[in-house]
Protein backbone atom coordinates (compact mmCIF):
# COMPACT_ATOMS: atom_id res chain seq x y z
CA UNK A 1 0.00 0.00 0.00
CA UNK A 2 1.40 3.38 -1.00
CA UNK A 3 -0.33 5.73 1.42
CA UNK A 4 1.03 8.96 -0.05
CA UNK A 5 -1.08 8.38 -3.18
CA UNK A 6 -4.39 8.14 -1.35
CA UNK A 7 -4.73 11.90 -1.12
CA UNK A 8 -4.33 12.18 -4.89
CA UNK A 9 -6.97 9.47 -5.34
CA UNK A 10 -9.38 11.63 -3.36
CA UNK A 11 -8.58 14.53 -5.68
CA UNK A 12 -9.59 12.33 -8.62
CA UNK A 13 -12.79 11.32 -6.85
CA UNK A 14 -13.68 14.88 -5.85
CA UNK A 15 -13.09 16.55 -9.22
CA UNK A 16 -14.63 13.87 -11.41
CA UNK A 17 -17.58 13.31 -9.06
CA UNK A 18 -18.22 17.05 -8.97
CA UNK A 19 -18.14 17.35 -12.76
CA UNK A 20 -20.39 14.36 -13.45
CA UNK A 21 -22.93 15.33 -10.78
CA UNK A 22 -22.86 19.00 -11.78
CA UNK A 23 -23.87 18.22 -15.35
CA UNK A 24 -27.09 16.65 -14.08
CA UNK A 25 -28.38 20.05 -12.94
CA UNK A 26 -26.21 22.80 -14.43
CA UNK A 27 -28.27 23.12 -17.62
CA UNK A 28 -31.66 23.44 -15.90
CA UNK A 29 -31.41 27.17 -15.28
CA UNK A 30 -30.20 27.81 -18.86
CA UNK A 31 -33.25 26.24 -20.56
CA UNK A 32 -35.01 29.60 -21.22
CA UNK A 33 -31.75 30.94 -22.70
CA UNK A 34 -31.39 27.89 -24.94
CA UNK A 35 -35.03 28.26 -25.97
CA UNK A 36 -34.32 31.78 -27.22
CA UNK A 37 -30.92 30.95 -28.74
CA UNK A 38 -32.19 28.08 -30.88
CA UNK A 39 -35.59 29.65 -31.54
CA UNK A 40 -37.54 26.60 -30.39
CA UNK A 41 -39.88 25.54 -27.59
CA UNK A 42 -39.09 24.76 -23.96
CA UNK A 43 -40.28 21.22 -24.61
CA UNK A 44 -37.62 20.79 -27.30
CA UNK A 45 -34.72 22.15 -25.24
CA UNK A 46 -35.59 19.96 -22.27
CA UNK A 47 -33.96 17.19 -24.34
CA UNK A 48 -30.66 18.88 -23.46
CA UNK A 49 -31.33 17.78 -19.88
CA UNK A 50 -33.16 14.55 -20.62
CA UNK A 51 -30.68 13.19 -23.18
CA UNK A 52 -27.88 13.22 -20.60
CA UNK A 53 -30.08 11.56 -17.99
CA UNK A 54 -31.40 9.06 -20.53
CA UNK A 55 -28.11 7.57 -21.65
CA UNK A 56 -26.64 7.94 -18.15
CA UNK A 57 -29.39 5.70 -16.77
CA UNK A 58 -29.19 3.23 -19.67
CA UNK A 59 -25.52 2.43 -19.21
CA UNK A 60 -25.06 2.88 -15.45
CA UNK A 61 -25.56 -0.79 -14.51
CA UNK A 62 -23.34 -1.93 -17.37
CA UNK A 63 -20.72 0.62 -16.35
CA UNK A 64 -20.72 -0.69 -12.81
CA UNK A 65 -20.20 -4.25 -13.99
CA UNK A 66 -17.39 -3.18 -16.31
CA UNK A 67 -15.63 -1.57 -13.35
CA UNK A 68 -16.07 -4.75 -11.29
CA UNK A 69 -14.49 -6.84 -14.07
CA UNK A 70 -11.85 -4.59 -15.65
CA UNK A 71 -10.87 -2.36 -12.73
CA UNK A 72 -11.12 1.32 -11.89
CA UNK A 73 -8.28 2.80 -13.91
CA UNK A 74 -9.21 1.45 -17.33
CA UNK A 75 -12.96 2.13 -17.15
CA UNK A 76 -12.55 5.44 -15.37
CA UNK A 77 -10.10 6.70 -17.98
CA UNK A 78 -12.35 5.72 -20.87
CA UNK A 79 -15.39 7.25 -19.20
CA UNK A 80 -13.79 10.57 -18.27
CA UNK A 81 -12.13 10.89 -21.68
CA UNK A 82 -15.51 10.47 -23.39
CA UNK A 83 -17.13 12.91 -20.96
CA UNK A 84 -14.45 15.56 -21.48
CA UNK A 85 -14.40 15.35 -25.28
CA UNK A 86 -18.20 15.44 -25.38
CA UNK A 87 -18.14 18.54 -23.15
CA UNK A 88 -15.91 20.25 -25.70
CA UNK A 89 -18.26 19.28 -28.52
CA UNK A 90 -21.32 20.46 -26.59
CA UNK A 91 -19.71 23.81 -25.85
CA UNK A 92 -18.89 24.39 -29.51
CA UNK A 93 -22.32 23.29 -30.81
CA UNK A 94 -24.31 25.70 -32.97
CA UNK A 95 -27.28 23.42 -33.64
CA UNK A 96 -29.66 21.98 -31.05
CA UNK A 97 -29.38 18.51 -32.58
CA UNK A 98 -25.58 18.61 -32.22
CA UNK A 99 -25.85 19.77 -28.62
CA UNK A 100 -28.20 16.91 -27.76
CA UNK A 101 -25.90 14.39 -29.48
CA UNK A 102 -22.90 15.53 -27.43
CA UNK A 103 -25.00 15.43 -24.27
CA UNK A 104 -25.71 11.77 -25.06
CA UNK A 105 -21.97 11.13 -25.33
CA UNK A 106 -21.44 12.98 -22.05
CA UNK A 107 -23.95 10.71 -20.37
CA UNK A 108 -22.23 7.59 -21.74
CA UNK A 109 -18.89 8.72 -20.35
CA UNK A 110 -20.42 9.61 -17.00
CA UNK A 111 -22.05 6.17 -16.77
CA UNK A 112 -18.56 4.63 -16.83
CA UNK A 113 -16.78 7.19 -14.64
CA UNK A 114 -19.24 7.48 -11.75
CA UNK A 115 -19.31 3.76 -10.75
CA UNK A 116 -15.51 3.81 -10.87
CA UNK A 117 -15.33 6.69 -8.37
CA UNK A 118 -17.72 4.75 -6.14
CA UNK A 119 -15.43 1.71 -6.13
CA UNK A 120 -12.38 3.90 -5.41
CA UNK A 121 -13.65 4.71 -1.91
CA UNK A 122 -15.68 1.57 -1.13
CA UNK A 123 -13.63 -1.46 -1.97
CA UNK A 124 -10.89 -2.80 0.31
CA UNK A 125 -10.27 0.35 2.32
CA UNK A 126 -9.20 0.81 5.91
CA UNK A 127 -11.58 2.51 8.32
CA UNK A 128 -9.62 5.75 8.20
CA UNK A 129 -9.53 5.80 4.40
CA UNK A 130 -13.27 5.15 4.18
CA UNK A 131 -13.91 7.97 6.62
CA UNK A 132 -11.94 10.47 4.58
CA UNK A 133 -13.35 9.20 1.30
CA UNK A 134 -16.91 9.47 2.61
CA UNK A 135 -16.38 13.08 3.64
CA UNK A 136 -14.95 13.99 0.23
CA UNK A 137 -17.87 12.31 -1.53
CA UNK A 138 -20.46 14.03 0.63
CA UNK A 139 -19.04 17.53 0.26
CA UNK A 140 -18.32 17.42 -3.47
CA UNK A 141 -21.50 15.59 -4.41
CA UNK A 142 -23.73 17.79 -2.28
CA UNK A 143 -22.19 21.03 -3.49
CA UNK A 144 -22.30 19.95 -7.15
CA UNK A 145 -25.92 18.81 -7.02
CA UNK A 146 -27.21 21.83 -5.16
CA UNK A 147 -25.08 24.51 -6.84
CA UNK A 148 -25.59 23.27 -10.40
CA UNK A 149 -28.41 25.74 -11.15
CA UNK A 150 -26.52 28.56 -9.44
CA UNK A 151 -23.36 28.04 -11.49
CA UNK A 152 -25.42 27.55 -14.63
CA UNK A 153 -27.20 30.85 -14.11
CA UNK A 154 -24.03 32.81 -13.33
CA UNK A 155 -22.11 31.39 -16.28
CA UNK A 156 -25.02 31.89 -18.69
CA UNK A 157 -25.43 35.55 -17.76
CA UNK A 158 -21.75 36.48 -17.36
CA UNK A 159 -20.46 34.66 -20.46
CA UNK A 160 -22.78 32.42 -22.51
CA UNK A 161 -24.42 29.03 -22.25
CA UNK A 162 -21.51 27.49 -24.21
CA UNK A 163 -19.24 27.85 -21.17
CA UNK A 164 -21.50 25.62 -19.08
CA UNK A 165 -19.87 22.75 -20.98
CA UNK A 166 -16.48 24.22 -21.88
CA UNK A 167 -15.52 24.61 -18.21
CA UNK A 168 -15.28 20.80 -18.02
CA UNK A 169 -12.44 20.48 -20.53
CA UNK A 170 -9.34 21.58 -18.60
CA UNK A 171 -10.28 19.92 -15.28
CA UNK A 172 -11.24 16.79 -17.21
CA UNK A 173 -7.87 16.50 -18.92
CA UNK A 174 -6.03 17.09 -15.64
CA UNK A 175 -7.99 14.52 -13.67
CA UNK A 176 -7.58 11.89 -16.41
CA UNK A 177 -3.80 12.31 -16.29
CA UNK A 178 -3.82 12.15 -12.50
CA UNK A 179 -6.00 9.04 -12.52
CA UNK A 180 -3.58 7.20 -14.80
CA UNK A 181 -0.88 7.80 -12.21
CA UNK A 182 -2.65 7.01 -8.94
CA UNK A 183 -5.29 4.38 -9.77
CA UNK A 184 -4.73 0.65 -9.78
CA UNK A 185 -5.92 -1.31 -12.80
CA UNK A 186 -6.33 -4.61 -10.97
CA UNK A 187 -9.74 -6.16 -10.27
CA UNK A 188 -10.67 -9.16 -8.13
CA UNK A 189 -13.25 -10.20 -10.73
CA UNK A 190 -10.92 -9.93 -13.71
CA UNK A 191 -11.26 -13.66 -14.36
CA UNK A 192 -15.00 -13.28 -14.90
CA UNK A 193 -16.48 -12.27 -18.23
CA UNK A 194 -18.84 -9.39 -18.90
CA UNK A 195 -22.39 -10.54 -19.50
CA UNK A 196 -22.74 -8.82 -22.88
CA UNK A 197 -26.31 -10.01 -23.58
CA UNK A 198 -27.36 -8.54 -20.23
CA UNK A 199 -25.55 -5.27 -21.02
CA UNK A 200 -27.36 -4.98 -24.34
CA UNK A 201 -30.82 -5.98 -23.10
CA UNK A 202 -30.65 -3.82 -19.94
CA UNK A 203 -29.55 -0.77 -21.94
CA UNK A 204 -32.36 -1.38 -24.45
CA UNK A 205 -34.89 -1.78 -21.63
CA UNK A 206 -33.92 1.40 -19.82
CA UNK A 207 -33.69 3.44 -23.00
CA UNK A 208 -37.07 2.24 -24.23
CA UNK A 209 -38.83 3.02 -20.96
CA UNK A 210 -37.41 6.50 -20.53
CA UNK A 211 -37.81 7.43 -24.19
CA UNK A 212 -41.40 6.18 -24.35
CA UNK A 213 -42.35 8.06 -21.20
CA UNK A 214 -40.79 11.27 -22.46
CA UNK A 215 -42.31 10.95 -25.94
CA UNK A 216 -45.74 9.97 -24.64
CA UNK A 217 -46.08 13.36 -22.98
CA UNK A 218 -46.14 15.33 -26.25
CA UNK A 219 -47.05 12.70 -28.86
CA UNK A 220 -49.82 11.07 -26.87
CA UNK A 221 -49.77 7.75 -25.02
CA UNK A 222 -51.66 5.96 -27.78
CA UNK A 223 -49.42 7.20 -30.59
CA UNK A 224 -48.12 4.24 -32.65
CA UNK A 225 -44.47 5.14 -32.15
CA UNK A 226 -44.92 5.40 -28.37
CA UNK A 227 -46.73 2.06 -28.21
CA UNK A 228 -44.00 0.50 -30.34
CA UNK A 229 -41.28 1.67 -27.95
CA UNK A 230 -43.23 0.37 -24.95
CA UNK A 231 -43.50 -2.97 -26.77
CA UNK A 232 -39.75 -2.92 -27.30
CA UNK A 233 -39.31 -2.30 -23.57
CA UNK A 234 -41.48 -5.33 -22.75
CA UNK A 235 -39.49 -7.49 -25.17
CA UNK A 236 -36.20 -6.26 -23.70
CA UNK A 237 -37.43 -7.03 -20.18
CA UNK A 238 -38.33 -10.59 -21.10
CA UNK A 239 -35.01 -11.05 -22.87
CA UNK A 240 -33.09 -9.65 -19.92
CA UNK A 241 -34.76 -12.06 -17.49
CA UNK A 242 -33.93 -15.01 -19.74
CA UNK A 243 -30.29 -14.13 -20.37
CA UNK A 244 -29.70 -13.48 -16.66
CA UNK A 245 -31.25 -16.84 -15.81
CA UNK A 246 -28.91 -18.66 -18.19
CA UNK A 247 -25.75 -16.56 -17.76
CA UNK A 248 -22.84 -18.23 -15.92
CA UNK A 249 -21.88 -14.86 -14.39
CA UNK A 250 -25.12 -12.85 -14.29
CA UNK A 251 -24.83 -9.09 -14.05
CA UNK A 252 -27.81 -8.79 -11.67
CA UNK A 253 -29.19 -11.54 -9.46
CA UNK A 254 -32.69 -11.64 -8.00
CA UNK A 255 -31.27 -11.62 -4.47
CA UNK A 256 -30.70 -7.88 -4.90
CA UNK A 257 -34.44 -7.27 -4.83
CA UNK A 258 -35.41 -9.85 -2.23
CA UNK A 259 -34.03 -7.62 0.49
CA UNK A 260 -36.71 -5.28 1.84
CA UNK A 261 -34.28 -2.50 2.66
CA UNK A 262 -32.78 -2.55 -0.84
CA UNK A 263 -36.08 -2.68 -2.73
CA UNK A 264 -38.00 -0.33 -0.45
CA UNK A 265 -35.17 2.17 -0.22
CA UNK A 266 -34.74 2.13 -3.99
CA UNK A 267 -38.46 2.80 -4.54
CA UNK A 268 -38.44 5.53 -1.92
CA UNK A 269 -35.52 7.23 -3.63
CA UNK A 270 -37.27 7.06 -7.02
CA UNK A 271 -40.39 8.75 -5.63
CA UNK A 272 -38.27 11.36 -3.86
CA UNK A 273 -36.26 11.98 -7.03
CA UNK A 274 -39.38 12.38 -9.16
CA UNK A 275 -40.59 15.24 -7.01
CA UNK A 276 -37.23 16.90 -6.53
CA UNK A 277 -35.83 16.57 -10.07
CA UNK A 278 -39.05 17.63 -11.75
CA UNK A 279 -39.31 20.75 -9.62
CA UNK A 280 -35.63 21.54 -10.10
CA UNK A 281 -36.02 21.42 -13.89
CA UNK A 282 -38.93 23.85 -14.05
CA UNK A 283 -37.95 26.12 -11.14
CA UNK A 284 -35.67 28.25 -13.29
CA UNK A 285 -38.39 28.73 -15.88
CA UNK A 286 -40.86 29.81 -13.16
CA UNK A 287 -38.52 32.28 -11.50
CA UNK A 288 -37.53 33.91 -14.79
CA UNK A 289 -40.92 34.00 -16.50
CA UNK A 290 -43.26 34.52 -13.54
CA UNK A 291 -41.14 36.31 -10.95
CA UNK A 292 -39.22 38.19 -13.65
CA UNK A 293 -35.74 37.38 -12.36
CA UNK A 294 -32.55 37.17 -14.42
CA UNK A 295 -30.72 33.82 -14.86
CA UNK A 296 -28.11 34.80 -12.26
CA UNK A 297 -30.77 35.90 -9.76
CA UNK A 298 -32.67 32.65 -10.24
CA UNK A 299 -29.46 30.67 -9.91
CA UNK A 300 -28.40 32.30 -6.64
CA UNK A 301 -31.61 31.06 -5.01
CA UNK A 302 -30.03 27.60 -4.88
CA UNK A 303 -27.08 28.79 -2.77
CA UNK A 304 -29.18 28.82 0.41
CA UNK A 305 -30.38 25.20 0.16
CA UNK A 306 -26.86 24.12 -0.83
CA UNK A 307 -25.47 25.61 2.37
CA UNK A 308 -28.23 24.02 4.44
CA UNK A 309 -27.63 20.62 2.87
CA UNK A 310 -23.86 20.89 3.36
CA UNK A 311 -24.23 21.82 7.03
CA UNK A 312 -27.02 19.42 7.96
CA UNK A 313 -26.00 16.32 5.98
CA UNK A 314 -23.51 15.10 8.66
CA UNK A 315 -26.29 15.49 11.24
CA UNK A 316 -28.60 13.45 9.03
CA UNK A 317 -26.11 10.58 8.90
CA UNK A 318 -25.50 10.78 12.63
CA UNK A 319 -29.21 10.64 13.40
CA UNK A 320 -29.69 7.61 11.13
CA UNK A 321 -26.71 5.85 12.72
CA UNK A 322 -27.85 6.56 16.27
CA UNK A 323 -31.62 6.11 16.02
CA UNK A 324 -31.97 3.95 12.91
CA UNK A 325 -32.70 5.26 9.41
CA UNK A 326 -36.49 4.89 9.35
CA UNK A 327 -37.56 7.96 11.34
CA UNK A 328 -34.90 10.51 10.22
CA UNK A 329 -35.24 9.68 6.51
CA UNK A 330 -39.04 9.57 6.64
CA UNK A 331 -39.11 12.88 8.48
CA UNK A 332 -36.74 14.34 5.88
CA UNK A 333 -39.03 13.33 3.02
CA UNK A 334 -42.08 14.77 4.78
CA UNK A 335 -40.19 18.00 5.38
CA UNK A 336 -39.29 18.22 1.72
CA UNK A 337 -42.88 17.54 0.66
CA UNK A 338 -44.00 20.42 2.87
CA UNK A 339 -41.35 22.61 1.24
CA UNK A 340 -42.76 21.89 -2.21
CA UNK A 341 -46.23 22.77 -0.95
CA UNK A 342 -44.83 26.08 0.33
CA UNK A 343 -43.30 26.76 -3.11
CA UNK A 344 -46.69 26.11 -4.73
CA UNK A 345 -48.08 29.24 -3.04
CA UNK A 346 -45.65 31.60 -4.83
CA UNK A 347 -47.13 34.18 -7.17
CA UNK A 348 -46.17 37.22 -9.24
CA UNK A 349 -44.45 39.96 -7.27
CA UNK A 350 -43.01 37.67 -4.57
CA UNK A 351 -39.45 38.34 -3.39
CA UNK A 352 -36.72 36.09 -2.07
CA UNK A 353 -38.21 36.34 1.43
CA UNK A 354 -41.32 34.49 0.23
CA UNK A 355 -39.09 31.60 -0.89
CA UNK A 356 -37.38 31.16 2.49
CA UNK A 357 -39.89 28.77 4.14
CA UNK A 358 -39.73 26.42 1.17
CA UNK A 359 -35.95 26.69 0.95
CA UNK A 360 -35.49 25.81 4.62
CA UNK A 361 -37.88 22.86 4.47
CA UNK A 362 -36.41 21.47 1.23
CA UNK A 363 -32.81 21.95 2.40
CA UNK A 364 -33.43 20.31 5.78
CA UNK A 365 -35.44 17.50 4.23
CA UNK A 366 -32.80 16.78 1.59
CA UNK A 367 -30.05 16.59 4.23
CA UNK A 368 -32.00 14.09 6.34
CA UNK A 369 -32.75 11.99 3.24
CA UNK A 370 -29.09 11.73 2.17
CA UNK A 371 -28.33 8.51 4.16
CA UNK A 372 -30.95 6.58 2.15
CA UNK A 373 -28.37 5.29 -0.33
CA UNK A 374 -26.33 3.78 2.49
CA UNK A 375 -29.17 1.57 3.63
CA UNK A 376 -30.00 0.56 0.08
CA UNK A 377 -26.48 -0.78 -0.50
CA UNK A 378 -25.84 -2.15 2.97
CA UNK A 379 -26.94 -5.74 2.25
CA UNK A 380 -25.03 -6.10 -1.03
CA UNK A 381 -21.66 -7.92 -0.99
CA UNK A 382 -18.65 -5.72 -1.64
CA UNK A 383 -17.64 -7.54 -4.82
CA UNK A 384 -20.95 -6.42 -6.35
CA UNK A 385 -20.59 -2.79 -5.30
CA UNK A 386 -20.24 -1.55 -8.87
CA UNK A 387 -23.43 -3.21 -10.07
CA UNK A 388 -25.42 -2.35 -6.94
CA UNK A 389 -24.28 1.25 -7.15
CA UNK A 390 -25.25 1.21 -10.81
CA UNK A 391 -28.77 0.06 -9.94
CA UNK A 392 -29.06 2.80 -7.33
CA UNK A 393 -27.89 5.44 -9.79
CA UNK A 394 -30.21 4.10 -12.49
CA UNK A 395 -33.11 4.55 -10.08
CA UNK A 396 -32.02 8.12 -9.49
CA UNK A 397 -31.72 8.89 -13.20
CA UNK A 398 -35.01 7.18 -14.07
CA UNK A 399 -36.69 9.19 -11.31
CA UNK A 400 -35.31 12.39 -12.83
CA UNK A 401 -36.76 11.53 -16.24
CA UNK A 402 -40.09 10.53 -14.73
CA UNK A 403 -40.19 13.69 -12.64
CA UNK A 404 -39.54 15.91 -15.65
CA UNK A 405 -42.19 14.11 -17.69
CA UNK A 406 -44.91 13.81 -15.03
CA UNK A 407 -44.61 17.34 -13.68
CA UNK A 408 -44.09 18.68 -17.17
CA UNK A 409 -47.27 16.97 -18.38
CA UNK A 410 -49.24 18.54 -15.51
CA UNK A 411 -47.68 21.94 -16.13
CA UNK A 412 -48.29 21.89 -19.89
CA UNK A 413 -51.87 20.63 -19.62
CA UNK A 414 -52.85 23.27 -17.07
CA UNK A 415 -51.09 26.00 -19.04
CA UNK A 416 -53.08 25.12 -22.15
CA UNK A 417 -56.31 25.04 -20.16
CA UNK A 418 -55.58 28.41 -18.53
CA UNK A 419 -54.74 30.03 -21.86
CA UNK A 420 -57.95 28.68 -23.34
CA UNK A 421 -59.84 30.34 -20.46
CA UNK A 422 -58.29 33.70 -21.31
CA UNK A 423 -55.39 33.86 -18.86
CA UNK A 424 -52.14 35.54 -19.86
CA UNK A 425 -49.03 33.44 -20.51
CA UNK A 426 -47.51 34.40 -17.15
CA UNK A 427 -50.75 33.60 -15.30
CA UNK A 428 -50.97 30.27 -17.09
CA UNK A 429 -47.41 29.34 -16.08
CA UNK A 430 -48.14 30.37 -12.49
CA UNK A 431 -51.29 28.24 -12.28
CA UNK A 432 -49.68 25.21 -13.92
CA UNK A 433 -46.55 25.44 -11.76
CA UNK A 434 -48.59 25.62 -8.56
CA UNK A 435 -50.37 22.34 -9.25
CA UNK A 436 -47.19 20.68 -10.56
CA UNK A 437 -45.45 21.53 -7.28
CA UNK A 438 -48.30 19.97 -5.33
CA UNK A 439 -47.97 16.82 -7.44
CA UNK A 440 -44.23 16.77 -6.71
CA UNK A 441 -44.92 17.10 -3.00
CA UNK A 442 -47.40 14.21 -3.16
CA UNK A 443 -44.80 11.99 -4.84
CA UNK A 444 -42.21 12.76 -2.17
CA UNK A 445 -44.78 12.09 0.57
CA UNK A 446 -45.50 8.67 -0.99
CA UNK A 447 -41.76 8.01 -0.86
CA UNK A 448 -41.87 8.84 2.85
CA UNK A 449 -44.56 6.21 3.39
CA UNK A 450 -42.49 3.61 1.54
CA UNK A 451 -39.38 4.26 3.65
CA UNK A 452 -41.47 4.27 6.83
CA UNK A 453 -42.54 0.67 6.22
CA UNK A 454 -39.34 -0.73 4.69
CA UNK A 455 -36.32 0.87 6.34
CA UNK A 456 -34.93 -0.37 9.62
CA UNK A 457 -36.30 0.69 12.98
CA UNK A 458 -34.09 1.44 15.95
CA UNK A 459 -35.49 -1.62 17.74
CA UNK A 460 -34.18 -3.78 14.87
CA UNK A 461 -30.58 -2.70 15.44
CA UNK A 462 -28.54 -5.61 16.80
CA UNK A 463 -26.39 -4.95 19.81
CA UNK A 464 -22.64 -4.81 19.28
CA UNK A 465 -20.99 -7.90 20.66
CA UNK A 466 -19.19 -7.31 23.91
CA UNK A 467 -15.49 -6.63 23.47
CA UNK A 468 -15.63 -6.12 19.72
CA UNK A 469 -14.64 -2.99 17.89
CA UNK A 470 -17.48 -0.85 16.53
CA UNK A 471 -18.33 -1.52 12.90
CA UNK A 472 -18.09 1.13 10.25
CA UNK A 473 -21.23 1.48 8.12
CA UNK A 474 -20.59 0.83 4.46
CA UNK A 475 -20.92 4.01 2.37
CA UNK A 476 -23.31 4.50 -0.51
CA UNK A 477 -22.95 6.00 -3.98
CA UNK A 478 -22.74 9.69 -4.84
CA UNK A 479 -25.98 10.92 -6.32
CA UNK A 480 -28.04 14.13 -6.43
CA UNK A 481 -30.25 12.46 -3.82
CA UNK A 482 -28.00 10.11 -1.79
CA UNK A 483 -24.41 10.30 -0.59
CA UNK A 484 -22.06 8.13 1.44
CA UNK A 485 -22.20 7.95 5.18
CA UNK A 486 -20.05 9.92 7.60
CA UNK A 487 -18.64 7.55 10.21
CA UNK A 488 -19.71 7.96 13.82
CA UNK A 489 -17.08 10.46 14.89
CA UNK A 490 -19.21 11.46 17.86
CA UNK A 491 -18.32 8.28 19.72
CA UNK A 492 -21.65 6.48 19.53
CA UNK A 493 -21.08 2.77 20.07
CA UNK A 494 -24.48 1.57 18.85
CA UNK A 495 -25.05 1.65 15.12
CA UNK A 496 -27.80 0.93 12.66
CA UNK A 497 -26.92 -2.29 10.91
CA UNK A 498 -29.10 -3.83 8.23
CA UNK A 499 -28.85 -7.61 8.45
CA UNK A 500 -27.65 -9.03 5.19
CA UNK A 501 -30.23 -10.94 3.21
CA UNK A 502 -27.68 -12.28 0.77
CA UNK A 503 -27.92 -16.12 0.42
CA UNK A 504 -26.02 -18.15 1.25
CA UNK A 505 -24.61 -16.40 4.35
CA UNK A 506 -20.84 -15.93 4.01
CA UNK A 507 -18.50 -17.21 6.71
CA UNK A 508 -17.77 -13.55 7.57
CA UNK A 509 -19.28 -10.19 6.70
CA UNK A 510 -17.71 -8.61 3.62
CA UNK A 511 -17.86 -5.30 5.47
CA UNK A 512 -15.86 -6.32 8.54
CA UNK A 513 -12.16 -5.60 8.81
CA UNK A 514 -9.58 -8.17 9.73
CA UNK A 515 -8.45 -8.52 13.34
CA UNK A 516 -5.50 -6.27 12.61
CA UNK A 517 -7.91 -3.54 11.48
CA UNK A 518 -6.36 -3.18 8.05
CA UNK A 519 -7.15 -4.32 4.56
CA UNK A 520 -5.90 -4.02 1.04
CA UNK A 521 -7.77 -2.04 -1.58
CA UNK A 522 -8.11 -1.95 -5.33
CA UNK A 523 -8.94 1.67 -6.00
CA UNK A 524 -5.40 3.05 -5.78
CA UNK A 525 -1.94 1.68 -5.08
pLDDT over 60 (residue 301): yes
d(CA 396, CA 145): 13
When pLDDT is averaged across residues 406-429 and rounded to a whole number, the result is 83
Q: What are 252-279's pLDDT values in tens digits?
A: 666 667 777 778 888 888 898 888 776 7
pLDDT over 80 (residue 97): yes
30 pLDDT tier (thresholds 50, 70, 90): confident
86 pLDDT tier (thresholds 50, 70, 90): very high
- Closest Cα partner for 170 from 249, 67, 93, 85? 85
Q: What are 192-223's pLDDT values in tens digits?
A: 566 678 778 877 887 887 778 767 766 777 88
Q: Which CATH class is domain 3-194+251-459?
A: mainly alpha
| Alpha helix segments (H runs only) across 96-246 | 96-122, 127-158, 163-166, 169-182, 196-219, 224-246
pLDDT at 498: 33
Each residue of 27-55: b (16+ CB within 10 Å) or e? bbbbbbbbbebbeeebeebbbbbbbbbbb
For the chain, give the mean pLDDT.
75
Q: Structure pTM? A: 0.64
pLDDT at 100: 92
**Position with higher pLDDT, 523 vs 418:** 418
pLDDT over 60 (residue 336): yes
CB of 372 closer than 8 Å to CB of 113: no
Phi then psi for residue 507, to 5 deg, are: -65, -20
**Position with higher pLDDT, 511 vs 434:** 434
Amino acid sequence: MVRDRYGWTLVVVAISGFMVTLDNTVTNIALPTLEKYFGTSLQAVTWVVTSYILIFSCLMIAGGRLVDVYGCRRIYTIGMAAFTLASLGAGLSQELSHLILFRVLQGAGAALALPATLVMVLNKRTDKQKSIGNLVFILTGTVASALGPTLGGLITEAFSWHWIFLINVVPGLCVIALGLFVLDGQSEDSAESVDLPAVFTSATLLFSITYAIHSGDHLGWTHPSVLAVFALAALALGSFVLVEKWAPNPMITTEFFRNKAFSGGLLGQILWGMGFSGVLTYAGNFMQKVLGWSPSQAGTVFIAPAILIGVLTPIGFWLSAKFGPRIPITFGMISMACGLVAFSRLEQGDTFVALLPGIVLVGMGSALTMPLGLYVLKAIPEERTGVAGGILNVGREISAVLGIVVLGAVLNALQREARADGSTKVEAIEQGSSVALLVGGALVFCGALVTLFTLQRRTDVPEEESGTAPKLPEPASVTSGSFPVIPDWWGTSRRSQIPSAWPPPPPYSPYEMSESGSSTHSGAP
